[in-house]
Amino acid sequence: MTTATKERIINKVESLSESDALMVLDFIDDIQGHVPNAETIKAIEESYNPANLIGPFDNMKDFMKSLLSDDERAFTQKSGSAFGSLNKYANPELMPQEKSAWEQAMFEKYADR
């Protein structure tokens, strides 16, 4: 890169706001590509072996069960369901509100802003 090009870049960068400068840095990182760390490389290599893969899943419950540890799996088999173990504490009258609970919480939190 020529000195003139470097100077032009420096002049442009100095006039940016902090948030715009961070976006430019992210963009440069994307252009240069990311070098994966050892954990990511290991995960990629393991994904090449189909024996290490699980799924496909027909529903979220089956997916969540696949993530259980051995202890959690043993509890599930003993109790019948780890997912229903707190069912006795549920309030059926509040279940219809579950669909909009997240939106309502965000509205309450940020309505004043």
Each residue's pLDDT tens digit, 47-73: 888 776 777 888 888 888 887 777 776
Amino acid at 21: A
pLDDT given at position 77: 63
Tracing tokens 């997916």 back to the chain, one arrives at 63
85 vs 53 pLDDT, higher one? 53
How far apart, in Å, are the Cα atoms of 34 and each of 26, 27, 37, 42, 43? Answer: 11, 11, 9, 15, 15
Burial 89-100 (b: 16+ CB within 10 A, else e): eeeeeeeeeeee
CB count within 10 Å of CB 84 equals 11
pTM: 0.27
Please give the mean pLDDT across all residues of the chain: 80
pLDDT band at 85 (very low <50, low <70, confident <90, very high): low
User: Residue 30 in contact with residue 23, Cβ under 8 Å?
Assistant: no
In the predicted structure, residue 100 carries a pLDDT above the cut 80: yes
pLDDT given at position 103: 85
Domain ranges of the chain: 3-34
For the ranges 9-18, 33-42, 46-55, the lowest mean pLDDT is seen at: 46-55
User: Residue 21 in contact with residue 10, Cβ under 8 Å?
Assistant: no
